[in-house]
């Protein structure tokens, strides 16, 4: 009887281990919300998808590009309260600075606060910039309302041991891109890397992580130009950020 119990225990452990391996190898389920003003979102989407593939990261993508090319839109996606259901991570690469309705914004931040992980890229930081409420900015982990001119900015790793920043080159400069000025770093934010303003000499976070409620958030303010989405260091860092945000088991 004892032998039978032991055998059953071993069998149960093996099944659990197999299930764990399967979960770790399962594709990351990604919802990419993109669109709005000022950037080539089709190019950026393809570049991100290729970057994950090139690094051997399996992913299932759902891409939602709604709201046109202006600075103001309330997109149909968020009308469904279960818009984020079933995804490991939602990537926000949209650009709607002048959308301000608090009820609409909280339809987006609510699921994140409840635990939907997020990656926020470039103009997502200026999305809902004109809103009075801080919910979106708290999700981002930083507050930014303007950017400085395009240049090739040196990027210095601050959290060199963080899994996202592993092997980040010491002498790296961004592709020609805008420098977003960060006026506030929220309390749960860990800055991973900074760039210096050519105008003021002040350091601005350019890669970071944040915790928003139960959600893990990775952010970068770079991502304006197609050159950035052609840059292997940027794409590798972004890919790792997506993996990190998607969950512990993927680090």
* Residues binding Zn ion (CB under 5 A): 224
Residue 77 CB, nearest distance to Zn ion (Å)?
22
Evaluate whether 147 touches 97 at the Cβ level (below 8 Å). Answer: no
Structure tokens given for 193: 């890397």
Residue 194 CB, nearest distance to Zn ion (Å)?
19
Structure tokens given for 212: 């928003």
Evaluate whether 218 touches 241 at the Cβ level (below 8 Å). Answer: yes
Q: Which is nearer to Zn ion, 92 or 224 (CB)?
A: 224
Residue 109 CB, nearest distance to Zn ion (Å)?
22
Instruction: Give CA–CA dist 198/15, Å, rounded.
Output: 57
Q: Which is nearer to Zn ion, 112 or 147 (CB)?
A: 147
Q: Which is nearer to Zn ion, 135 or 178 (CB)?
A: 178
Evaluate whether 44 touches 224 at the Cβ level (below 8 Å). Answer: no
Residue 208 CB, nearest distance to Zn ion (Å)?
18
User: Residue with the closest Cβ to Zn ion?
Assistant: 224
Q: Which is nearer to Zn ion, 162 or 224 (CB)?
A: 224
Residue 238 CB, nearest distance to Zn ion (Å)?
15
Residue 192 CB, nearest distance to Zn ion (Å)?
20
Evaluate whether 96 touches 128 at the Cβ level (below 8 Å). Answer: yes
Cβ neighbour number for residue 13 with a 10 Å cutoff: 10
Q: Which is nearer to Zn ion, 197 or 247 (CB)?
A: 197
Q: Please list, in sequence order, all residues whose beta carbon lies within 8 angstroms of the beta carbon of residue 70, skipping any fewer than 6 positions away.
A: 36, 37, 96
Q: What is the DSSP string of 2-33?
A: HHHHHHHHHHHHHHHHHHHHHHHHSPEEEEEE
Q: Which is nearer to Zn ion, 151 or 159 (CB)?
A: 151
């Amino acid at each position: 009887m004892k032998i039978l119990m032991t055998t059953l225990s071993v069998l149960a452990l093996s099944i659990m281990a197999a299930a764990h391996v399967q979960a770790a190898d399962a594709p990351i389920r990604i919802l990419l919300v993109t669109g709005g003003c000022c950037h080539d979102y089709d190019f950026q989407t393809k570049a991100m998808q290729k970057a994950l593939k090139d690094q051997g990261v399996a992913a299932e993508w759902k891409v939602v590009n709604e709201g046109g090319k202006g600075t103001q839109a309330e997109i149909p996606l968020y009308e469904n309260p279960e818009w984020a259901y079933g995804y490991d991570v939602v990537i926000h690469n949209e650009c709607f600075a002048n959308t301000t309705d608090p009820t609409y914004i909280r339809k987006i931040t609510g699921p994140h606060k409840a635990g939907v992980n997020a990656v926020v890229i470039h103009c997502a930081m200026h999305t809902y910039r004109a809103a009075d409420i801080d919910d979106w900015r708290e999700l981002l982990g930083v507050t930014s309302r303007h950017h400085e001119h395009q240049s090739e900015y040196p990027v210095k790793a601050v959290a060199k041991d963080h899994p996202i920043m592993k092997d980040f080159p010491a002498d790296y400069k961004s592709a020609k891109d805008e420098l977003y000025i960060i006026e506030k770093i929220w309390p749960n934010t860990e800055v991973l890397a900074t760039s210096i303003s050519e105008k003021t000499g002040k350091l601005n976070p350019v890669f970071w992580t944040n915790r928003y409620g139960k959600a893990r958030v990775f952010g970068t303010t770079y991502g304006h130009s197609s050159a950035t989405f052609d840059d292997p260091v940027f794409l590798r860092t972004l890919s790792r950020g997506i993996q990190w945000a998607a969950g512990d088991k993927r680090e």
